[in-house]
Structure 1
């Protein structure tokens, strides 16, 4: 397939499009072709397109996350943990400790700061926050808080450990990301070629494709003009 890309203009393979939208675009093309009922010449192309769509995993979004389920689990756990941190800050930490030195320690691990961290750093800093919950549980007036916090936090390391982040796993994920994308791109290109044999007008060909979600290239920013006085 790399040689195929090298020698032919194959824009479907390089569309700046999310996996979800790329699959949706292919599904739209398949539906439009079936509705048009263009005859037996299109039958093998419809079969190939249908197979490519069936083998396309639009949930596989990250090269370092080989399994979509584990990635989704980490995101869900992260969202729940950050919500717990935010609620605890508002309901207990701020009302009880706002005038005490310990409040500054908790502010270092607020929701907004944790949310900006990469996954590994989030796990590490969250453990520091768990220690603070334990240390100040009595002052916060909630002895059960450490146990509640650990229960809210535990899905994060569980989801992290479940992810296959070995080099082999990463390489396999990248292969999967490339293979099913190119299979769908090849099916779409062959459909387009068959449509070009059927229709003379480009508009008739392209009406079967949905490019509405393709990201447009950003315009280059205008260069900043430096006043002559500063240059001098």
Structure 2
């Protein structure tokens, strides 16, 4: 029977579709409204619980799926530098020196435009093959080609690994901090329950809450959980 009735007892504050900064802001609104209303001693522990929950909430951590920020920037820079190196090497050394040889066709498979069109994993794989080709043809091109190419590729691979690590860290942090959102939702639910015991008018109860920043669903309508019951 628990499943049949769970909808009636769901915490509407946990269901609010808000970014973390907005979620914290709406909780701060409730705390401020509750204190300004001077509701009495029955509300003191409830407002204190809400204040504690707000204090433990990190609004700077964005929602799941956020960009990995510095990791993404570093990867884009390393990718651009690698592709520029490939292009310059092709124009300045490979084409002038190997154009009439069969191996030139192998280099053509790894042109800048072809590599640039590849997704991240394929770019790394194909770049490794090009790196081997550079090393094999180094005597026909120039003495330091292998070392220079390896350094550029190493920077690309390192930036990619760093980006993946940052993404995993952010995901783990979001899971760890799920409890801080639940703590605010729990405190607000308890505050709402006491308000309902104090005021008969739903409008009065909901005046202590601000859902204006809640996101809407694809139909453009606010989720039903955000609409106060007027019965």
TM-score range, shorter chain: 0.5 to 0.7
State which drifts further: 183-192 or 193-202.
Answer: 193-202
Distance apart, 1:190 and its partner CA? 1.6
Asked whether 1:107 is paired with 2:107, we answer no
Q: Aligned partners of 2:70, 2:216: CA distance in 1, in Å?
A: 30
Alignment correspondent of 2:14: 13
SS of the residue 1:13 aligns to? coil
Q: Aligned partners of 2:57, 2:195: CA distance in 1, in Å?
A: 23
Contact 2:18 2:215 in 1 (8 A): yes
Q: TM-score, normalised by structure 1?
A: 0.59
Contact 1:130 1:150 in 2 (8 A): no
Q: Aligned partners of 2:128, 2:33: CA distance in 1, in Å?
A: 55
Q: TM-score, normalised by structure 2?
A: 0.59
Asked whether 1:78 is paired with 2:76, we answer no
Q: Aligned partners of 1:206, 1:31: CA distance in 2, in Å?
A: 14
Q: How many residues align?
A: 197
Distance apart, 1:11 and its partner CA? 1.5
Instruction: Name the larger-Rg structure.
Output: 2
State which drifts further: 12-21 or 195-204.
Answer: 195-204
Alignment correspondent of 1:194: 194
SS of the residue 1:211 aligns to? coil
Contact 1:77 1:155 in 2 (8 A): yes
SS of the residue 2:13 aligns to? helix
- How do 1:34-113 and structure 2 match up within 5 A? 34-58=35-59, 59=61, 61-62=63-64, 75-89=69-83, 91-94=84-87, 97=90, 102=107, 104-105=109-110, 106-110=112-116, 113=118
Q: For each residue in 1:71-99, what CA deviation from the matched residue of structure 2 results, as whole angstroms up to 9, or x when unmatched?
A: 98x5522331123313543x444466478
State which drifts further: 46-55 or 143-152.
Answer: 143-152
RMSD value, Cα: 4.5
Shift in CA distance, 208/43, structure 1 to aligned 2, threshold 3 Å: same
